[in-house]
Structures are given as structure tokens and as C-alpha cells.
């Protein structure tokens, strides 16, 4: 990278906010997807949209690719600088600019961490609903870029349902506002397009988000089942009954053992599956819902029910759920995670398939996922120093992904495509739809400098595109750590 460009960036942002030493860059060489590493050539930490625009103008002038980064908790390699270039870290843009309880909106800079916003909203009796399990670390910008979900999204919707307006620095360096605080907007929905575009169409700098009133009553149920079949059937019955739980999460026996060992929470270890179900609401509605839920759980042979009533009891149950990945770390040091969404009626057959794959490849898989949304998370644990285990994890993972797609599933529910799943896109989308998506990308980013190599398959021809990521990793195409 040209020294003149680095100097201009230092002059504008301040020398301490432009990093180029190898030990500084190493911090930015991966995200939470442990499969792939790639260090950038430069990291900048702007403080305003104007500074972001200046960085992009410099990148355009010198034809240098750039990639936005929040906290690097992404699980698909989206924040990696695949072609080197500049990482634009958004962490210094971390101010909550306005909380407006009358219109139930907040205006934030995108480096604000998800949990910080909810902490600030407590005195108003409001909350920001999308709550990824990583919420104590991930930024709202990363959530917007990935269209993040979370345990409460079954009732309240994912990130896109809570974004009213966005300030974006476009790849041509212009700063624009998309959408409107007034909840009504005309013309093509560019806010909707930007949410979930993984930093490929521009860099989001501010957001106006929708806030939700805290419900009067909340109760969390831990329901244990002797068989996965009973737990899966209970999920289907809850959905079919018209009940609208605010969370409906699944943990398998291995996951229960892992969280017990890590957090000493005493979840029932004799169970083959555990559901965490949250009901929230007002007045007599919640009493009615509780009776109905109890009936359904009994119909499906629930073996044990524990209720979290107080805030502390509920927090303990959710803490264990949200920190399962940390608990898995006690068994093996790395994990490879798929994020397919399947029709909820297919939960049991796919879980059986996952178990069969685990046995055949001799790998450990922990299942903890958003059952109410059909959003699976098979966590395939492995040791990066064991080549055979790595190969089995990748190949077993690919088989699971194919099985999910075969029952009408989708590639990703919330973790995005990034680099890790880009080569699988042609399994889900036709060439014609991929071409249209690429045209959208070109319309926003004709030079292709904004987060290159993400979302779209890079390999072409001979039907090879869909097989590339896993084989590329296996063949050591320079991607593997
Ligand atoms: C333990 C654990 C649990 C998780 N649980 C969940 C979960 O329940 N639900 C869920 O949805 N995800 C979950 N994730 C994944 C991850 O936390 C989310 O994808 C999160 O939204 C990423 O935010 P981040 O700030 O870390 O973004 P990063 O990882 O830094 O970046 C992610 C993507 O966003 C882009 N980006 C970042 N900021 C901007 C910006 N300002 N403008 C444009 N593009 C930008 C990057 O280029 C990249 O493509 C989990 C991750 C971990 C490690």
C-alpha cells in the first residue's frame, strides 16, 4: 500500500487510529469462524461518517479494497480482508445519540454493542428486540450487516424488522440516509437491501432502530424429554397450536452435559433433549398461554419442567444457553458451525441425520438452536492440529448442509454467507437469481472494492462452484488456518 495514502489517513484520523504493525494487524486476521485467516494491510478506526467517507475516497483513488468490521464475532468470515487492503473498524463510533420513548426509536452509531443499547433502555421500560447470543460483544453495525437473529426473534422478528433508517457511506464516498424515522418510506426498500448485505454495498455509520415495550410478565420453562422425537414433536405442536412463545430453543444431551460442566446449572442430564421456552405477555393472556403450553408438553411426555419466574432465575437459564459455545470449548478447541434453516416439521429427521453423520465420521456435534424458527446450529467440534478430524468435520458438515437443503432448507438463518459459505450459494440459488444479485452489487459498487470475495461464488465452471469452500480448505488453498 502506498505510503502517501497511509500518511493522508494518519493526518485525517490521527496517527494512533491507523494501524500497520504486524502485531496490530494480527488482531484483525480472523473472526469467530475459526476456519479461515487473512490479515489486512492496514486497519483504520474512524470516529465519524465523514472520516469513513475520507477512507473510502482514498481507497478508491488508490484502488485498495476495504472491509468494514464491528467486533469480529461473525461466524462466516465476513469481516476478513480477503484481498488484503484496509479494515475499517467501526468500534470508535460507539455513541447512543438519541432515545425517543414517545416514538419508540433510538438513533445510534453502529459501533454500539447490542447489549449496551439494551442496558441504556432499561429505565424507559423498552428494549431492542434482536438479541444474538453474542450480544455482549457484537455491534449493531455487524447485526445490521448480517441481519442478525437471536432467541427472541421467533416472536419479535430479526434485525431487518427493527431498522427504520440508516446512514450509509456508499462505495462512491457519498454519505446518504436511507429510510425514514417516521416508519413510512417510498420507492424501493433500500434499507431492506442494505440489511443483510454483509458490508458489500457500503458502510453503515448510523441507524434509527425500532424499540419495543417490555412485556408485563415473562416466564421461562425448561422442559426435558427422554427422546429427541418427543421434543421435536412438542416444538411442532407449540407452533401449530397458535401459541406465540417469545423464545423456543433446543439443546441436545451433549450440550446439556457441556453447560452443566461449565456453569454448574444442574440441567437434567438423563434427558435426550431439553427445550427452553419463554412466554411473555400481559394480564390473563399469559395464564391462558401457560395452561396451553403445559397441556402440550404433557401430551408429548415431558419428563421434567423447571420454571424461571424471577429475573435472576430467567437470566441464569438464558446465560447457560447463550454461552454454550464457551462450554463446548472444554471438550475441543475449535468448532465449525452450520446455520441452515429447515421447515420445522423436518427437525426430527434432520437431527437423526446429524447424529448419523457424527457417528459415521467419528466427530462430536453439539446441537443448540432456535427450534421455533427451524434455525439449526450443529456445532462440529474439532482439534485444528488433528488433520483427520479437521477433514471429517468439514466433510461431515457439508453432508449436513446438503441434507438440510434437500428438505427445502436455506444456507443461513442469521450468520450470513461471508467467505465460508459463498461457494455453496449456487446450491440454493439459480444462476439467474445469482446474476441479479451480482447486478445489485455492481450498481452500488462498480469497482468491487467494498468487501470483495464475500457472498458470491468466486469459482466458476463445470458445476464446481458449489463444492469449492470445503475442498478449497481441504486442499489447503491458502484459506485454512
Ligand atoms: C458465541 C457466538 C454466538 C452468536 N450468536 C448469534 C446469534 O444468536 N444470532 C446471530 O445472528 N448471530 C450470532 N453470532 C454471530 C455474530 O455475533 C453476528 O453475526 C453479529 O451480528 C456480528 O457482529 P460483529 O459486530 O461482531 O460483526 P463482525 O463480525 O465484525 O462483521 C460481520 C459482518 O458485518 C460487516 N460489517 C460490520 N460492521 C459493518 C458496518 N458498520 N457497515 C457495513 N458492514 C459492516 C462486516 O464486513 C462483516 O461482513 C454469534 C457469534 C458468536 C461468536
Choose which residue among 131, 146, 202 to substitute to test ligand 1 binding: the one with the highest number of ligand atoms within 8 A of its C-beta: 146
Concatenated DSSP letters for 202-232?
-EEEEEEEE-EEPPSEEEEEEEEESSHHHHH
Q: What angle do CA 397, 403, 409 make, to 5 degrees?
A: 105
Question: What CA–CA distance (Å, rounded) separates 101 from 53?
Answer: 31
Number of domains in the chain: 4
Q: To the nearest whole percent, how much of the chain has pLDDT over 90?
A: 84
Residue 481: inside a domain: no
| Domain match, 8 and 79 both | yes
| Domain match, 318 and 346 both | no
Q: To the nearest whole percent, how much of the chain has pLDDT over 70?
A: 95
For the CA of 326, the closest atom of ligand 1 is: 1
Greatest CA span in the chain, whole angstroms? 71
C-alpha cell at 147: 441481519
CATH of the domain at 262: 3.30.70.2190
Q: Tell me the pLDDT band of 145, cut-offs 50, 70 and 90.
A: very high
Give tens-digit pLDDT for 55-86. 999 999 999 999 999 999 999 999 999 999 99
Give tens-digit pLDDT for 319-363. 888 889 999 999 999 999 999 999 988 999 999 999 999 999 999
**Which pLDDT belongs to residue 363?**
96
Angle between helix axes 347-361 and 387-406 (nearest 10 degrees) is 160
**Environment class of 391 (CB within 10 Å of its CB; exposed 0-12, middle 13-18, buried 19+):** middle
Residue 403: inside a domain: yes
**Which pLDDT belongs to residue 309?**
81
| Domain match, 63 and 197 both | no
| Domain match, 310 and 227 both | yes
**Which pLDDT belongs to residue 121?**
98
C-alpha cell at 264: 454448574
Q: Tell me the pLDDT band of 472, cut-offs 50, 70 and 90.
A: low
Choose which residue among 95, 132, 136 to substitute to test ligand 1 binding: the one with the highest number of ligand atoms within 8 A of its C-beta: 132
Does residue 174 or residue 283 have the better pLDDT?
Answer: 174
CATH of the domain at 48: 3.30.43.10
CA 416 – ligand 1 centroid, Å: 9
Q: Tell me the pLDDT band of 461, cut-offs 50, 70 and 90.
A: very low
> Which domain, by its residues, includes 262?
217-327
CATH of the domain at 126: 3.30.465.10
CA 204 – ligand 1 centroid, Å: 13
Which of 89, 113, 141 terminates a domain? The answer is 89
CA 48 – ligand 1 centroid, Å: 20
Residue owning the nearest CA to atom 6 of ligand 1: 132
Residue 479: inside a domain: no
| Domain match, 319 and 342 both | no
CA 3 – ligand 1 centroid, Å: 31
Q: Which residues' Cβ are closer than 6 Å to ligand 1?
A: 31-32, 67-75, 78-79, 90, 110, 132-134, 138-139, 141-143, 145-146, 148-150, 198-199, 203-204, 325, 414-415, 451
Which of 89, 113, 140 terminates a domain? The answer is 89
Q: Kindly list the strands in the beta sheet with 105-109, ordered across the sheet, starting from the edge strand earlier in the chain.
A: 96-100, 105-109, 203-210, 163-169, 175-179
Residue 164: inside a domain: yes
Which of 37, 71, 89 terminates a domain? The answer is 89
| Domain match, 49 and 164 both | no
CA 302 – ligand 1 centroid, Å: 35
| Domain match, 196 and 223 both | no
Amino acid at each position: 500500500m502506498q505510503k502517501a495514502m497511509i500518511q493522508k489517513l494518519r493526518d485525517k484520523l490521527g496517527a494512533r487510529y491507523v494501524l500497520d504493525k504486524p502485531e496490530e494487524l494480527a488482531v484483525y486476521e480472523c473472526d469467530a469462524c475459526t476456519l479461515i485467516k487473512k490479515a489486512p494491510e492496514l486497519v483504520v478506526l474512524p470516529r465519524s461518517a465523514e472520516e469513513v467517507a475520507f477512507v473510502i475516497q482514498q481507497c478508491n483513488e488508490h484502488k485498495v479494497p476495504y472491509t468494514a468490521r464491528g467486533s469480529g464475532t461473525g461466524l462466516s468470515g465476513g469481516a476478513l480482508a480477503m484481498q488484503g487492503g484496509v479494515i475499517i473498524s467501526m468500534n470508535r463510533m460507539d455513541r447512543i445519540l438519541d432515545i425517543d420513548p414517545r416514538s419508540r426509536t433510538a438513533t445510534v452509531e453502529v459501533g454500539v454493542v447490542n447489549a449496551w443499547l439494551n442496558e441504556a433502555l432499561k429505565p424507559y421500560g423498552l428494549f431492542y428486540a434482536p438479541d444474538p447470543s453474542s450480544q455482549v460483544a457484537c455491534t449493531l453495525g455487524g447485526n445490521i450487516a448480517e441481519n442478525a437473529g437471536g432467541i427472541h426473534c421467533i416472536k419479535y422478528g430479526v434485525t431487518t424488522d427493527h431498522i427504520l433508517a440508516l446512514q450509509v457511506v456508499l462505495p462512491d464516498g457519498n454519505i446518504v440516509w436511507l429510510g425514514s424515522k417516521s416508519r413510512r418510506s417510498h420507492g424501493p426498500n433500500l434499507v431492506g437491501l442494505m440489511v443483510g448485505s454483509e458490508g458489500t454495498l457500503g458502510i453503515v455509520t448510523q441507524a434509527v432502530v425500532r424499540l419495543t415495550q417490555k412485556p408485563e410478565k415473562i416466564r421461562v420453562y425448561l422442559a426435558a424429554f427422554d427422546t429427541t422425537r418427543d421434543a421435536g414433536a412438542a416444538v411442532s405442536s407449540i407452533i401449530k397450536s397458535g401459541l406465540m412463545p417469545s423464545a423456543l430453543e433446543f439443546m441436545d444431551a451433549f450440550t446439556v452435559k457441556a453447560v452443566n460442566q461449565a456453569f454448574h446449572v444442574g440441567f437434567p442430564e438423563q434427558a435426550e433433549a431439553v427445550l427452553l421456552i419463554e412466554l411473555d405477555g400481559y394480564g390473563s393472556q399469559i395464564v391462558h398461554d401457560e395452561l396451553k403450553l403445559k397441556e402440550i408438553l404433557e401430551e408429548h411426555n415431558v419428563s421434567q419442567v423447571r420454571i424461571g419466574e424471577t429475573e435472576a432465575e430467567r437470566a441464569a437459564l438464558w446465560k447457560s444457553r447463550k454461552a454454550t459455545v464457551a462450554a463446548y470449548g472444554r471438550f475441543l478447541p475449535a468448532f465449525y458451525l452450520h446455520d441452515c434453516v429447515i421447515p420445522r416439521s423436518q427437525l426430527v429427521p434432520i437431527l437423526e441425520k446429524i447424529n448419523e453423520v457424527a457417528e459415521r465420521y467419528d466427530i462430536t456435534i453439539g446441537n443448540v438452536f432456535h427450534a421455533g424458527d427451524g434455525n439449526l446450529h450443529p456445532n462440529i467440534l474439532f482439534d485444528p492440529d488433528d488433520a483427520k478430524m479437521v477433514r471429517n468435520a468439514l466433510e461431515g458438515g457439508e453432508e449436513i448442509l446438503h441434507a438440510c437443503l434437500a428438505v427445502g432448507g436455506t444456507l443461513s438463518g442469521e450468520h450470513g454467507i461471508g467467505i465460508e459459505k459463498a461457494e455453496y450459494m449456487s446450491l440454493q440459488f439459480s444462476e439467474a437469481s445469482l446474476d441479479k444479485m451480482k447486478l445489485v452489487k455492481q450498481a452500488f459498487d462498480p469497482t468491487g472494492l467494498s468487501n470483495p470475495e464475500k457472498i458470491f461464488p468466486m469459482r466458476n465452471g463445470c458445476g464446481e462452484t458449489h463444492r469449492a469452500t470445503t475442498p478449497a480448505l481441504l486442499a489447503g488453498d491458502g484459506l485454512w488456518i
